[in-house]
Structure 1
Amino acid sequence: MSQDRRAARVRLNLSASAASVSVAVILVAAKLWALAQTGSLSIAASLADSALDLVASLAGLAAILYAARPPDEDHAFGHDAAEDLAALGQAVLVAGSALMIGWRAIARLTADEPAPLRHEEAGLAVMLLSIALTAALVAWQRRVAARTGSRVVAADSLHYLSDLLPNLGALAALWASARFGVSTLDSIVALGASALLLAGARNIAAGAFHALMDRRAAPDVVARIEAIVRAHPGVRGFHDLKTRTSGARLFIQVHVELDGEQSLREAHDIGAALRRRLLEAFPEAEVIIHKDVAGRR
């Protein structure tokens, strides 16, 4: 990948990440005000999610900046693992917030008289703003991810897309309270949001843990790599395919079996062409190809 193309990709990814941080800051401030006005637990759940979005967006921004740095003497394989460490910390925050919101929702549901909501109109306005900003952000992130292939931006986009559900739930709870005086829906929505946050925390933690433990890439990714290697001209076979992920980067190592009668230059050209094909399919990959004589393992 040329330096100009890489620089353009980094700029696009940074624009999406900066937009994500900006939206998160606006939503955290707006929902803090709405929570103070309404006392709504569903808004509290949405606020916690937005606060965690801010942490995730900042981590994503740092990861993009850090990943742009070339490997150095102390980090020969790059600096991408910092993203996974940040994700583990984020998972702990998500789980803690989810448990706190769930506990408060259960306390309200079991209370003799549920606490009424206040100033629902203010909360409705903030949630509508939240939905509009989130939808616009997701549209831009998806466009950037499609052009750059950034997993960080794509993951952030999916995270914000999942936020639309609790936002819509909070909107429904506030409307029910304003229209019918039903406040229990607010606690039910908060419980649902709490469950979603816990599930998200589990997924984030599992993904980061597996990456830090050098787990192999997803089965569909491995299958694509195998198909590319198997179909490449001049390759008679392959073995010892190894993969791992670190942050947004994929590491690929494979032994290819070549005709032992051909020249060293011909063998080198086959390996170089295969490496280019793998990089075309996985632009953020680090590829190492070992060349063996076919039938002499």
Structure 2
Amino acid sequence: MAYSENEHRMNTSAGLASVGTAALLVAIKAWALWQTGALSVGASLADSAVDLLISGAGLLAILYAAKPADDDHAFGHSSAEDLAALGQALIVLGAGATIGITGIRRLMAPSPPPLAAEGLGIAVMFASAVITFGLIWWQGRVAKATGNKVVAADRLHYVGDLLPTLGAILALWLSHAFGWGDVDSIVALIAAAIMLAGAAKIFIGAWHALMDRAAPDDVIEGIAKIARDWPDVRGFHDLKTRTAGAQIFVNLHIELDGDQTLEEAHDIGAALKRAIVAAYPQADVIIHKDVYRG
């Protein structure tokens, strides 16, 4: 399993917190939209509804990816994280495009629809912002501790949700104070742009992982340095890596003195593997031993 028991508990807690928060935000924002009729509130509601779908799928992916390797999945189930992230990106792209088109249509209309109950809407959106910030804080701690891509992607959605939420507060206040109804559509367009940009970033990252892209350059160089400096290792070659979810798969050929016993060669390779895993806990390492030819 790619994660320790404690890391799995943290990932699961982040997934459960995300689902619960999203459900609460959808409920209160739907009520605020019904009371105000503000498109900016609708944009924030749509974002939270998408977050609810994404969070539910993400929680399932976290639980599935944590399953140990079996006969049908010898390398584990961590790619489920990348599949979930890819699906998340596609959903966000659709929601962002819908909000953007609606915002443009309202701006082109002869007069924007009137807003109502702005004070109530402001109170609800402010509460939403506080709740969202609390979730983002916890997800940030979990993502930093475990490196889970689903939690990191989910956190990005909620970070993106903060701006449209704050924008909705601004739009409602400006409508109430000055009658500036067009601000509502402008805020919705900004929110749509943020959603589209975030979705593109998540999509690209998940796509690269599913296509077996190598680990980041600094990770590869770090592994190479460990192997290069390891005692009794005369050289190394064919260092290959790929990523799946938070896991990094490493294949490495090391060159050893051919006069050593098999047990001595095994001990060197095992010690080197432990050192790499200590430096990169999410690494799954296979070391091949070759005879040094000079």
Counterpart amino acid of residue 56 in structure 1: I
SS state at 1:257 partner? strand
Judge conservation of contact 1:149–1:283 (CA < 8 Å) in 2: no
How far apart are residue 134 of structure 1 and its match?
A: 1.3
CA gap of 1:195–1:36, structure 2 versus 1, over 3 A, is same
Number of the residue aligned with 2:170? 172
Q: Which runs of 5+ in 2 are unaligned?
A: none
Number of the residue aligned with 2:31? 33
Q: Paired residue for 1:114, among 112, 115, 130?
A: 112
CA gap of 1:126–1:10, structure 2 versus 1, over 3 A, is same
Counterpart amino acid of residue 188 in structure 2: A
Percent identity over the alignment is: 59
Number of the residue aligned with 1:104? 102
Counterpart amino acid of residue 142 in structure 2: V
SS state at 1:79 partner? coil
Judge conservation of contact 2:84–2:150 (CA < 8 Å) in 1: no
Judge conservation of contact 2:160–2:198 (CA < 8 Å) in 1: no
CA gap of 1:176–1:295, structure 2 versus 1, over 3 A, is farther
User: Distance between the aligned counterparts of 1:84 and 1:143, measured in 2?
Assistant: 20
Number of the residue aligned with 2:4? 6
Number of the residue aligned with 1:255? 253
The yes-or-no answer on 1:275 pairing with 2:281 is: no
Residues paired across the two proteins, number: 294
Aligned-residue RMSD, C-alpha = 2.1
SS state at 2:255 partner? strand
CA gap of 1:79–1:186, structure 2 versus 1, over 3 A, is same
How far apart are residue 133 of structure 1 and its match?
A: 0.9
Judge conservation of contact 1:38–1:117 (CA < 8 Å) in 2: yes
Judge conservation of contact 1:23–1:134 (CA < 8 Å) in 2: yes
The more displaced of 62-71 and 140-149 is 140-149
Judge conservation of contact 2:81–2:150 (CA < 8 Å) in 1: no
Counterpart amino acid of residue 132 in structure 2: T
Q: Which runs of 5+ in 1 are unaligned?
A: none
Q: Paired residue for 2:157, among 156, 159, 165?
A: 159
Q: Paired residue for 1:238, among 233, 236, 239?
A: 236
Number of the residue aligned with 2:123? 125
How far apart are residue 144 of structure 1 and its match?
A: 3.0
User: Distance between the aligned counterparts of 1:213 and 1:182, measured in 2?
Assistant: 48
How far apart are residue 149 of structure 1 and its match?
A: 4.1
TM-score by length of 2: 0.92
SS state at 1:195 partner? helix
How far apart are residue 141 of structure 1 and its match?
A: 2.2
SS state at 2:83 partner? helix
Number of the residue aligned with 1:211? 209
User: Distance between the aligned counterparts of 2:58 and 2:185, measured in 1?
Assistant: 32
Question: Residue deviations 1:262-297, cap 9 Å, x none?
Answer: 22222212211221122222222211111112237x
Q: Paired residue for 1:51, among 49, 54, 57?
A: 49
SS state at 2:115 partner? coil
How far apart are residue 163 of structure 1 and its match?
A: 2.3
Counterpart amino acid of residue 207 in structure 2: F
SS state at 1:112 partner? coil
SS state at 1:179 partner? helix
The yes-or-no answer on 1:265 pairing with 2:271 is: no
Judge conservation of contact 1:239–1:254 (CA < 8 Å) in 2: yes
Counterpart amino acid of residue 134 in structure 1: T
The more displaced of 105-114 and 279-288 is 279-288
User: Distance between the aligned counterparts of 1:236 and 1:159, measured in 2?
Assistant: 48
